[in-house]
Amino acid sequence: MLEMKNINKAFGDRIIYQNFNLTIQDGETLGIVGPSGAGKTTLLRMITGLEPIDSGALLLDGQPIDPYRNRADAGKVGVVFQDFQLFPHLSVLANVLVGPVYAQKTDRAAATQAATALLDQLGLADHAQDYPYQLSGGQQQRVAIARALALKPAVLAYDEPTSALDPAMTTDVAQLIKGFATQGMTQLIVTHDMPFIDQIKPRVITVGGKDNAQTTA
Amino acid sequence: MNWQYIGSILPALLSGTKITLIIFLGTLVLSIPLGILVSVGLRSRFKPLVWLLDGYVWLMRGTPLLLQLIFIFYGLPVIAIYFDRMSAVFLAFVLNYAAYFAEIFRGGLQAIPQGQYDAAKVLKLTPWETFRLIVLPQVVKNVIPAVGNEVINLIKDSSLVYVLGIGDLLRAGNIASARDVTLVPLVLVGIVYLTLTALLTWGLRSLEKHYAYYR
């Protein structure tokens, strides 16, 4: 269970979150929606440690975590970035291996076996030696998902997962996320694409607007 | 063409070429890592360091390398700081070229999207791992053409050591030309420089091709 308790966040004079609370239960898929500039991505960046929290607590299974300052807590929430941010100079397999081999110091042979299984599960087995530029947008996104899952995160977060895809691909992503939900994966989807959310039908909270500061989910 | 004459001056020219190559390789090996370090320092949040490094780059790029050579070898002894000829050459060349390389690498670093650092952070990479595994390989690819230009310039700039009386390729040719009143040594010097720059151009193109495996 991931919890945000009494979170405050401001950029200069602009208050983005004030005493904000959020709970994501284990195995739950949560959609965070709202207009552009509402602070959805800021929320995701705070949870994943890419943005500092001004005050408040981030708890994972009741234990406080601080992925912004503490590297041991990084990776507990995996991220699939809006523009994927794959490493262009590394093959698909090497992209997936970076976390386990270098950060978790997993034995390379064991990590390769796990990464290959992950790529196979995501339909990318034939692309393990390809480079990101050789893949379609949808395939690149699945590599980004595999790379995030390789660290076995407690929560998998997606930042605007449909923004870099053509409309035909969004149904595939929705199916993938629904499949993960069925397997009991805890997921967080930040998006402003309501038709996409309607395909997945997760619990949804809205951020932004004048009552953003008091939002409690 | 008097082959016997060419044969007689060839040892001096080859000896000069050796000195030219020592200056070239020594400068390259020392100035590229120093340039990388300075480029990283230029992106530091510690402002006094940035000001210091900015000043260094400005000074080195804003004054002629010839002046720097003369200043170090002939100027500094005025305040009782002495360098032998080769030390003065390496000091001037390494400091000068590191400043140019620092600017090139700074541009290369700026071209790496913040998202690459973010992705590395959520994958739990340390700052050093991020630099070594993710950033540097991409920067190297980005800067090869610009670094290549500087490398070609360096082989030609090495002839400036003539002013310190070091027996490089140009000096060897010039002495033979003045002594024997013929253009042949200078033409040979030109051919050697052209051969060296042609080899470097070929090497740099091969390096570019090597890094073309991804976009």
Of all residues in chain A, the one with the smallest CA distance to B122 is A75
* pLDDT tens, residue order, chain A (217 aa): 999 999 999 999 889 999 999 999 999 999 999 888 889 999 999 999 999 999 999 999 999 999 999 988 888 999 999 999 999 999 999 999 999 999 888 999 999 999 999 999 999 999 999 999 999 999 999 999 999 999 999 999 999 999 888 887 888 899 999 999 999 999 999 998 898 999 999 999 998 754 455 444 4
Q: Å from B36 to nearest chain A CA?
A: 20
Alpha helices (H) along B72-215 = 85-110, 114-122, 127-129, 136-157, 169-180, 184-210
Residues B122, A79: C-beta atoms closer than 8 Å: yes
- The shortest CB-CB distance from B118 to any of A50, A131, A147 is to A50
Q: Are residues A26 and A37 in the same domain?
A: yes
Q: pLDDT tens-digit profile of B3-41? A: 899 999 999 999 999 999 999 999 999 999 999 999 999
Residues B123, A99: C-beta atoms closer than 8 Å: yes
* pTM of this structure: 0.86
User: What's the domain range around A92?
Assistant: 87-152
Chain B hits for A67, Cβ within 8 Å: 122
Total domains in chain A come to 2
> Residues of B numbered 153-182 whose beta carbons fall under 8 angstroms of chain A's beta carbons: which are they?
none
Q: Å from A90 to nearest chain B CA?
A: 8
ipTM for the complex shown: 0.92
Q: Are residues A59 and A148 in the same domain?
A: no
User: What's the domain range around B201?
Assistant: 3-213
For residue A82, tell me if it sits in a domain.
Answer: no
Please give the pLDDT value at position B2: 84
Chain A hits for B129, Cβ within 8 Å: 102-103
Can you say how many angstroms the Cα of residue B90 is from the centroid of all Cα atoms in its chain?
10
Q: Domain boundary residue among A131, A152, A173?
A: A152
Total domains in chain B come to 1
Chain B hits for A132, Cβ within 8 Å: 214
Say which CATH number the domain at B19 has. 1.10.3720.10
- The shortest CB-CB distance from A81 to any of B115, B126, B133 is to B115
Residues A102, B129: C-beta atoms closer than 8 Å: yes
Residues B118, A151: C-beta atoms closer than 8 Å: no
Q: Are residues A31 and A128 in the same domain?
A: no
Q: Are residues A5 and A58 in the same domain?
A: yes
Chain B hits for A78, Cβ within 8 Å: 122
Chain B hits for A74, Cβ within 8 Å: 121-124
Residue pair B213/A86 in contact (Cβ under 8 Å)? The answer is no
CB pairs under 8 A between A and B: 68
Say which CATH number the domain at A67 has. 3.40.50.300
Q: Domain boundary residue among A152, A168, A189?
A: A152
Residues A102, B137: C-beta atoms closer than 8 Å: no
For residue A166, tell me if it sits in a domain.
Answer: yes
Q: Are residues A119 and A184 in the same domain?
A: no
For residue A81, tell me if it sits in a domain.
Answer: no
Beta strands across the sheet bearing A155-159:
A77-80, A155-159, A187-191, A29-33, A203-206
Q: pLDDT tens-digit profile of B159-209? A: 999 999 998 999 999 999 999 999 999 999 999 999 999 999 999 999 999
Chain B hits for A80, Cβ within 8 Å: none
Q: Are residues A35 and A128 in the same domain?
A: no
Q: Are residues A26 and A114 in the same domain?
A: no
Q: Domain boundary residue among A152, A175, A206?
A: A152
Residue pair B116/A85 in contact (Cβ under 8 Å)? The answer is yes
Of all residues in chain A, the one with the smallest CA distance to B123 is A99
